[in-house]
Amino acid sequence: LTKKTLFPQDYKGQKLAEQIFQGIILVSAIIGFIYGYITEQFGWTVYIVMAGFALSCLLTLPPWPMYRRNPLKWLPVQDSGTEEKKPGDRKPKRHSKS
């Protein structure tokens, strides 16, 4: 796996997804509360909030292209040359006494 597949969203995309998620949850909670109050059925409030949650998950969990408009700039891979050193070539670490 590459870094591109592990982290498909950027920071601005994450912020947008969070705003969309919170907005849909808030609007569905308000609509559900008002509708449930008018009909005097708490079940409708729960159903509307659950539908809002499902809609927000559908819009924010998959890595849609609108969340990947500002890709992160990764540093290029540097060859450190650690393959040439043997474990015995390293200096022993000195531990300080406390």
Q: What is the pLDDT of residues 69-87, one digit of tens each?
A: 888 787 888 887 655 555 5
Q: What is the rounded CA–CA span in Å between residue 97 and residue 81?
A: 33
Q: Which two tokens mark 10? A: 């950027």
Query: Residue 37 — pLDDT band, cuts 50, 70, 90?
Result: very high
Q: How far is CA 10 from CA 18, 77, 94, in A?
A: 12, 20, 41
